[in-house]
Amino acid sequence: MLELTDAARITAGAVLLTVVAIESGGAFLVRVVTGRVGATDFQTSFFRAGHAHAGVLVILGLLCVLLTEATHLGGFARWLAATGVLVAAILMPAGFFFSAMGEGRTRPNRAVVLLPLGAVAIAAGVVTLGVGLLTA
């Protein structure tokens, strides 16, 4: 049986509860693509991307939480390995959704800056975790 630290167990439990929010985003997306919510082609694309990134990054983030338990990382490196992707799971969907908000929008607004910040969080998290696993 896999023995999790309290931090990993609590983090994983909390993250699993966020799946309900991702589901509600999916319900919103269904309303957009069926025409019940008006959206431009740009907005529809960004809403789809935001929803997809949320789901995929939460799954990858949960895997990172579990894999970090197999490393000898400590301190900030341990936190980054375990939660870097989860930080991106907040930043990237927020970047897609928030930058597409507004009636008739056809281009992203300033919130698009969250996308590269999320990409940095993913890269930092997975590189730290990869090195931690290879050196354990």
In a domain, 1, yes or no: no
Does the global pTM surpass 0.75? yes
Q: How many domains would you assign to the chain?
A: 1
In a domain, 80, yes or no: yes
74 located within any domain: yes
Domain with 38 in it: 6-134
The string of pLDDT tens digits covering residues 59-117 is: 999 999 999 999 999 999 999 999 999 999 999 999 999 999 999 999 999 999 999 99
* Residue 123, domain member (yes or no): yes
Nearest to 71 by CA among 17, 7, 128: 128
